[in-house]
Amino acid sequence: MKAMLVGRIASIMSILMYVSYIPQIINNLHGQYGNPMQPLVASINSSFWCSYALLQKYKDWPVFIANVPGIIFGLITFVTALH
């Protein structure tokens, strides 16, 4: 029970971490570019975690779901930071 609660909290925090890229994306679109490397690495890291989750005998859906936003928002942040 405690492990499930910790897992749910960790999944929510992971999603919030990646959603927090939205202000940087907005800044990038307004010409205030951030460093593109960190979101690119975050996107690659999330891709590996999603792959890991799907390669398990019993798919680890919480890990997968928690990292999908990292791929999406990391890539968007990376692309919009290029100038």
- Residue ranges making up the domain that contains 7: 2-81
Percent of the chain residues topping a pLDDT of 90? 90
Contact, 50 vs 14, CB < 8 A?
A: no
pLDDT tens sequence across 42-59: 999 999 999 999 999 999
**How would DSSP label each residue in 29-59?**
HTT----SHHHHHHHHHHHHHHHHHHHSSS-
Q: What is the pLDDT of residue 83?
A: 85
Q: What is the CATH number of the domain that holds 57?
A: 1.20.1280
Q: Which residues contact 62 (CB under 8 A, 6 or more apart)?
A: 7, 8, 11
- pLDDT under 50: residue ranges of the chain: none
What is the reported pTM?
A: 0.90
Total domain count, the chain: 1
